[in-house]
Amino acid sequence: MKFRRSERLIDMTNYLLDHPRQLVPLTFFAERYDSAKSSISEDLAIVKETFEARGIGTLQTVPGAAGGVKFFVKVSKEKAKPFVEELCQMIVDPDRLLPGGYLYLTDILGNPQIVQKAGRIIASAYADAKIDVVMTIATKGIPLAYAVASQLNVPVVIVRRDSKVTEGPTVSINYVSGSAKRIQTMVLSKRSLKEGSQVLIVDDFMKAGGTVLGMISMLEEFNAHVSGIAVLVEAEETEERLVDDYLSLVKLSNVDVKEKKINVHEGNFFTRGQLL
């Protein structure tokens, strides 16, 4: 079946968005649309220009007989800023305050549109990095981890607090919670992570970083490596930060339970290098 150019562009765009960081040969599109490679190349040039102009991402051409094209999500700081500002406005709502100075974020992490946008921004910072898997800890960080992983086209590995019979044999470690200073346990299935994997750690909230440090220790048990650490919200005021190299979208600077005031501002995504 012969496609018109408009039909090719729509279908091609949809395919590339569904297969980020995957090498797609020009012959695949040529056969899919029964079109010459020269026409496909012209179509891809249009898609690339539109992606970059709209802040969606970019296309990378790989030359040679085994080459093709790859889509990488790219969100500039200018495109990310309005979303992060809106996110900050949502978080400062005093109704989010919980006993003990905790914040209610479940509605934000349960909103698909918010999580997908946050996932795109985080993924764009690591789009060029070598990443085999995204790791998070159950439970609140799971939606964000999947949003990031979908843009990087990699699987998600979930570290749990206790062992499940459906996980099979597991590796268990103890770690010290950075904020509460309590010894806790985390468990990961032996089948879930290959030795030598490059891992992006993603979490919803980081205070001192004890949980993240625990996941780093878990990776050592698998001879895996940390490609990056990203969190949606970080707490600015903490006695001892256990993790130094990380990316955050929102920074929680102060919580005044008595006055019911929450102070937040944009995270270090806007102050550190765009591409990690």
Peptide bond into 61 cis (omega under 30): no
Closest-CA residue to 141 (of 185, 109, 170, 94): 109
User: Does 5-73 carry CATH code 1.10.10.10?
Assistant: yes
- The fold of the 77-270 domain, in CATH, is Rossmann fold (3.40.50)
Mean pLDDT computed over every residue of the chain: 91
Residue 1 CA to residue 274 CA, distance in Å, equals 43
For the cut 80, the answer to whether the pLDDT of residue 39 exceeds it is yes
Q: Say whether 140 sits in a helix, a strand or coil.
A: coil
Q: Say whether 198 sits in a helix, a strand or coil.
A: strand
Four-residue CA torsion sign, 50, 275, 214, 244:
negative
Render pLDDT for 189-226 as a digit per residue (tens, 0 to 9): 999 999 999 999 999 999 889 999 999 999 999 999 99
Burial class (CB in 10 A: 0-12, 13-18, 19+), 183: exposed
Residue 158: which H helix or E strand, with range?
Answer: strand 156-159
Render pLDDT for 156-199 as a digit per residue (tens, 0 to 9): 999 998 888 788 899 999 988 766 678 989 999 999 999 999 99
Q: Say whether 172 sits in a helix, a strand or coil.
A: strand
Q: Say whether 124 sits in a helix, a strand or coil.
A: helix
User: pTM here?
Assistant: 0.92
In this prediction, residue 165 carries a pLDDT of: 78
Please give the C-alpha separations between residue 130 and each of 111, 125, 196, 208, in angstroms, as whole numbers. 29, 12, 12, 27
How do the domains of the chain map onto residue ranges?
A: 5-73, 77-270
Burial class (CB in 10 A: 0-12, 13-18, 19+), 80: buried
In this prediction, residue 272 carries a pLDDT of: 74
In this prediction, residue 98 carries a pLDDT of: 87
Q: Say whether 63 sits in a helix, a strand or coil.
A: coil
Residue 15 CA to residue 13 CA, distance in Å, equals 5
In this prediction, residue 122 carries a pLDDT of: 97
Residue 75 CA to residue 145 CA, distance in Å, equals 17
Q: Which residues contact 263 (CB under 8 A, 6 or more apart)?
A: 92, 252, 253, 254, 255, 256
Residue 156 CA to residue 40 CA, distance in Å, equals 33
Render pLDDT for 79-127 as a digit per residue (tens, 0 to 9): 999 999 999 999 999 999 888 777 899 999 999 999 999 999 999 999 9
Question: Residue 238's pLDDT band (boundaries 50, 70, 90)?
Answer: low
Closest-CA residue to 240 (of 270, 204, 213): 213
In this prediction, residue 260 carries a pLDDT of: 85
In this prediction, residue 14 carries a pLDDT of: 97
CB atoms within 10 A of CB 157: 24
Q: Which residue has the higher pLDDT, 274 or 243?
A: 243
